[in-house]
Amino acid sequence: MFAPPMMLPVRFAYRFDTQWGMNFHTHREYEVYYFHQGRCTYIIGGHIHVLSPGDLILMDGMTLHSANPSPYPYLRTNMHFDPAYLRGVLNDSIFTSAFETIGQLGNHIIHLEGESRTEVEQHLQKMNELYQQNDAVAFRRFLLALLDLLYYIQPFCPASGRSTRKMTEKELHVQRMLNYLEAHYSEDLHMELLESELYLNKTYLAKIFKEFTGMTIFIYIKNRRLNQAKIMFMMDKSVSVSDVCYQVGYKHLSHFSRLFKQEFGCTPEQFQRMAHHDIPLMSATRSRSAKI
């Protein structure tokens, strides 16, 4: 019997404007994100990108990422898909060729305009029509359309995932902060230290960081630590919770476990068991407010 698309490890949301309270997160699924309309700052792996309509992002999912949109409208199309699942239902050589851009090279931001932008938007519309049909043949056509889209955009992928647009002074300051936090998130950090290391007033640092990321510096650090812990549990089924706790920067196991459960809805031990029994982890990405 055919299972509806929402029950399969492929999700597709077309031109939606819902603004979820999503902080920095990671997931096993590959992701394709297309920005239709609005204003949005997107951060991937410690790099800041100010999006323009027509931007398309390819992500491997395991890199920490988050969107910080301005108020409505914020219109985008978003796809998540499990590469292991698609490898099983599609020809392996065709699958590998289509997905090697994401799997081997990581994250890309592509700016589409003119005919290429029109073609991609028409392609997404057709994919949505197929996805909405509760029909096995239509869903197979949707998967083939996804492959076709990835083949189409491969020539547009830059050599690296970084944006080539020149940054403003504020964006450069935030990028410097992100670089520093990426290198030192597991250490003891405080605003006076950041002020000293980055040669910027701590009040100004806090203000512009919140402006571009949508969160405070210390919420960012908390999310960076907890998502790193999540990745470590996913990658190594034998790593101990206490080792992960200390490696990501927490000194007290009980504090780490409490924050982890607040963030992901389960204890570190439960998450580690789920991660290695092929239980879907898509739902374990929504963040909840908590102190670092």
Q: Residue 158's pLDDT is what? A: 64
Tokens of 167: 């940054």
pLDDT per residue as tens digits for the range 149-196:
988 988 887 654 444 567 788 888 998 999 899 899 999 999 999 999
Q: Residue 284's pLDDT is what? A: 42
Tokens of 2: 């055919």
Q: Can you tell me the mean pLDDT for 81-88?
A: 80
Q: Can you tell me the mean pLDDT for 96-110?
A: 67
pLDDT band at 7 (very low <50, low <70, confident <90, very high): very low
Evaluate whether residue 287 is within a structural domain: no
Identify which has the larger pLDDT, 128 or 91.
Answer: 128
Same domain, 143 and 173: no
Q: Look at the chain and report how many structural domains it folds into.
A: 2
User: Does 268 score more than 60 pLDDT?
Assistant: yes
When mean pLDDT is compared across 8-12, 140-144, 270-274, the lowest value belongs to 8-12
CATH number where 176 lies: 1.10.10.60
Q: Residue 2's pLDDT is what? A: 40
Evaluate whether residue 226 is within a structural domain: yes
pLDDT per residue as tens digits for the range 246-267:
999 999 999 999 999 998 899 9
Per DSSP, what are the bridge partners of residue 67? 42
Q: Can you tell me the mean pLDDT for 214-228?
A: 91
Same domain, 130 and 21: yes
Domain-terminating residue out of 109, 134, 156: 156
CATH number where 46 lies: 2.60.120.280
Q: Residue 8's pLDDT is what? A: 58
Instruction: Say how many C-beta atoms besides its own lie within 10 A of residue 13's C-beta.
Output: 13
Strands (E), the chain: 10-16, 30-37, 40-44, 47-51, 55-59, 65-69, 75-81, 108-111
212-228: burial string, b at 16+ Cβ within 10 Å, e else: bbbbebebbbbbbbbbb
Place of tokens 């931001």: 109
Evaluate whether residue 288 is within a structural domain: no
Evaluate whether residue 142 is within a structural domain: yes
Domain hosting 35: range is 5-156
Supply φ then ψ for residue 21, to 5 degrees.
-85, 65
> Rounded to the nearest 10 degrees, how much is the dihedral formed by the CA atoms of 50, 158, 86, 271?
-50
Same domain, 18 and 146: yes
Q: Residue 97's pLDDT is what? A: 66
Same domain, 10 and 132: yes
For 287, the enclosing helix (H) or strand (E) is none
Same domain, 101 and 173: no
Supply φ then ψ for residue 70, to 5 degrees.
-75, 170
Evaluate whether residue 282 is within a structural domain: no
Q: Would you say 191 and 201 are in contact if contact means Cβ atoms under 8 Å apart?
A: no
